[in-house]
Amino acid sequence: MKRVSQPKAPRRKSSRESQIIEVINQLDQFLGAQQIHKILSNEKSSIGLATIYRRLELLSAEGKIDAIISPTGERLYRRCGQIEGHHHHLICRLCGATEEIDLEAVESITARIARRYGYQDISHSLEVFGICASCQSIQTSSIKSVSKAKLR
């Protein structure tokens, strides 16, 4: 194997990145840069918010983490699940539970539309938001108990 030359980045930078990745790895749900900044500050880290934003964007561009836009327009990040490469997410609006999903129909439709208009090198992002099964059962059980209380 050919020897790989040392990366140019100084050591301090990579340790910042690993601190951010460490927090991301602990997360099960999508979080914004500000929330990640708060977690890091609580762990006595001195990484500034602007650096965190930049690092998160780089990591998502490299495909190391997932980035989505929430229904309120906020950029959110999370460690990527099991699906490699391009994929989509089904996200619970209440608890943040996330499923990694393939949307093959979307891939072929967008490719066809782009071809029709003569576009090349296309990309898209599409996330599906809803309320997961366990949040639904919590909701219905609380509604049931309310209506039971009314009957009494």
Q: Which residues contribute to the site for Zn ion (CB under 5 A)?
A: 66, 80-81, 92, 94-95, 97, 100, 132, 135
**Least distance (Å) between residue 134 CB and Zn ion:** 6
Q: What angle do CA 103, 109, 113 make, to 5 degrees?
A: 145
CA-to-CA distance for 54 and 67, rounded, in angstroms? 13
**Least distance (Å) between residue 63 CB and Zn ion:** 10
Query: Closest CB to Zn ion among 57 and 100?
Result: 100
Query: Closest CB to Zn ion among 114 and 135?
Result: 135
CA neighbours within 13 Å on the CB side: how many for 118? 0
**Least distance (Å) between residue 48 CB and Zn ion:** 27
**Least distance (Å) between residue 51 CB and Zn ion:** 24
Query: Closest CB to Zn ion among 39 and 135?
Result: 135
Name residue 144's amino acid.
Answer: K
Query: Closest CB to Zn ion among 76 and 132?
Result: 132
Name residue 131's amino acid.
Answer: I
Query: Closest CB to Zn ion among 42 and 82?
Result: 82
66 CB-near residues (< 8 Å, 6+ apart) = 30, 60, 77, 78, 79, 80, 81, 89
**Least distance (Å) between residue 11 CB and Zn ion:** 29
CA-to-CA distance for 31 and 23, rounded, in angstroms? 10
Taking Cα atoms as reference points, which of 123, 127, 91, 92 lies closest to residue 110? 123
